[in-house]
Structure 1
Amino acid sequence: MNVQKLCIAMLAILALSACGGVDPNSPLGQRKAIFKEMLKTSEDMNGMLNGRVAFDGQRFSDAAVKLDALAQEPWKHFPQVKEADHTSAKDDVWQKQERFQVLVSSLEAATGELKGVAAAKPTAAVLAPSLSKVQAACEACHKEFRVY
């Protein structure tokens, strides 16, 4: 009898813990996945520039291409009306669309520039200012439109 109660309790706990996740197919789930991949890619690139990871010009260039492609994607997963799910996006994303789009364009321009500079496979010192522009574009949008 005790084993049966324990099994029922464990099943209930497992069922309840599964309720808190974000649907990966929802707009929120889609953009979160893209943002996580953008962060991972830029962290790897930053690691190459600050010596934490061995610098590899081809790998950096490939990552810049990937980051530029990713930077084009999350915006289509912001629905016209804010979803009911818990999101890190402030209401201003939906209320100040023009400003939001300006910052989106800034990020896209910065990743495009980084991709172009990286294609020539220059030294880490030459790449650092372009990656800094990408990071500044991310930070600017986060300051205005993300809840911390």
Structure 2
Amino acid sequence: MKQLLLTVLSCTVLLSPAFAADPVAQRQEIFKQYKQTVGTMAKTVKGETPYSKDEFAKLAAHLDALAQQPWQHFPAGSDKGKTDARAEIWSKPQDWKAAIDKHKTETAKLKQTAAGGDLAAIKAQFGATQKTCKACHDSFRND
């Protein structure tokens, strides 16, 4: 067991610099976490899974933390290779920043609303937050 752990840690250490040098991989990893978190939240909002105030609040807090992360991984020139990012991210930086700011604002509101526990309010704010995701995808992502 110790040998396996040492092997995994060694590989992680060796691969970390390569991963750190690839902004596309970094932002894609964060967006994978987004997808998982939002998917779990959506099931609750749709009534497919039972609502737990504490669990949903944790998910909303995690989403709010994620909302702070991917934007730094869009440096100039990272629109090449395997990415769905549109050139408008770099050619319209003010629009891109406005979309990010709107998303961060709505995600923070979702975190706050989730902490209150009112499921009807949570559903409304989840919808508002999702609209910011869609708006960004429509303008800045090739699907």
The answer to whether TM tops 0.5 is yes
Tell me the equivalent position of 1:20.
none
Q: Which residue type is aligned with residue 138 of structure 1?
A: C
Shift of 1:36: 1.1
Deviates more, 1:108-117 or 1:80-89: 80-89
Q: Deviations over 1:102-121 (max 9, x none)?
A: 00001000000001111112
Asked whether 1:108 is paired with 2:104, we answer: yes
Shift of 1:80: 2.5
Please give the alpha-carbon distance, in whole angstroms, between the structure 2 residues aligned to 1:82 and 1:63: 29
Please give the alpha-carbon distance, in whole angstroms, between the structure 2 residues aligned to 1:134 and 1:83: 26
Tell me the equivalent position of 1:129.
124
Tell me the equivalent position of 2:66.
70
Tell me the equivalent position of 1:51.
47
Question: What TM-score comes out, normalization by structure 1 length?
Answer: 0.80
Unaligned runs of 5+ in 1: 1-22
Please give the alpha-carbon distance, in whole angstroms, between the structure 1 residues aligned to 2:30 and 2:19: 11
Unaligned runs of 5+ in 2: 1-17
Taking the TM superposition and a 5 Å limit, the aligned residue runs for 1:13-92 are 24-25=19-20, 26-92=22-88
Q: Deviations over 1:67-102 (max 9, x none)?
A: 000001000000123343221001111111110000
- C-alpha RMSD over aligned residues: 1.2
Structure 1 vs Structure 2: percent identity of aligned residues? 31
CA contact (8 A) 1:82 1:91 kept: no
CA contact (8 A) 1:82 1:94 kept: no
Question: What TM-score comes out, normalization by structure 2 length?
Answer: 0.83
Please give the alpha-carbon distance, in whole angstroms, between the structure 1 residues aligned to 2:43 and 2:84: 26
Asked whether 1:138 is paired with 2:133, we answer: yes
CA contact (8 A) 2:79 2:87 kept: no
CA contact (8 A) 1:72 1:108 kept: yes
Query: Which secondary structure state, in structure 2, belongs to the residue aligned with residue 88 of structure 1?
Result: coil
Tell me the equivalent position of 2:13.
none
Who wins on radius of gyration, i.e. which is larger? 1
Q: Deviations over 1:37-90 (max 9, x none)?
A: 111101111111111111111000000000000001000000123343221001
